[in-house]
Amino acid sequence: MSFSPDEIQSLVERVEASQKKARRRTTISILVPTIAAILYLAFTCFLIIGVQNELEEKKEDSRKLDQKIDQKIKQINQLEQQINQLEQRKAGLDQVIVGVPQEYVKNAYNSVPGLENQAPLIYLQIQSPSQLKAAELISKELQEKGYIIPKPEVVARGPANSQVRYFRKTDRAKAENVVKILTGLEVRDKVIPQFIPDKSAAKHLEIWFGPKFQ
């Protein structure tokens, strides 16, 4: 079988066209995944850069926060030192006050308006020198809770049962609170709040020891 020159030329052209199409398809099949991979890589890099920038911002925020925390810690330490110093001064003043007779403390106390609301004053009235140790224990406990406690006074006569005396009806809650404190110390006597109307003694409370109070 023989072909004419025109047929051969036509066949060659078809073969070349087919090869071109094949090469084009091959090129496209290679380029499309490559371009997709490049775009994916570029997008991933964009995300990584964004995350890195955000991470740096968070690190900077963290450093600033750490600095603020350090400053607050220093301030807290300074305040704690000041509190300790004030507590030591207060303890020293409490020791001074506990040795001052009640009458002197009363005069100084009454000269400061509103002091009874900030630092309540309590007198201790004991019936025997043997109760001084218990009075000292109670004084220390009440001082730690913010009460002013002068020197205990030994009285010739006292009630049969221990009492926390208050002189204004509005002070009943204060008296009951002191009773709770004494009860918590497990004293060897029942302590009750006792109201005694007396305007001259309205600014303070009094703890009267019964003969069994220890």
pLDDT at 163: 93
Return the H-helix or E-strand segment holding 122.
strand 121-126
Domain boundaries, the chain: 1-97, 115-208
| Cβ-proximal residues to 117 (8 Å cutoff; 6+ apart), any chain | none
d(CA 53, CA 47): 10
| 1 has a pLDDT exceeding 60 | no
User: Which CATH number does 115-208 carry?
Assistant: 3.30.70.2390
pLDDT at 200: 65
Mean pLDDT of the chain: 80
3-state secondary structure of 64: helix
Locus of tokens 């709770």? 180
| 169 has a pLDDT exceeding 90 | no
pTM over 0.95: no
Cα distances (angstroms) measured from residue 109 to each of 97, 125, 154? 11, 18, 21
d(CA 48, CA 54): 10
d(CA 97, CA 139): 11
Percentage of residues of the chain with pLDDT beyond 70: 76
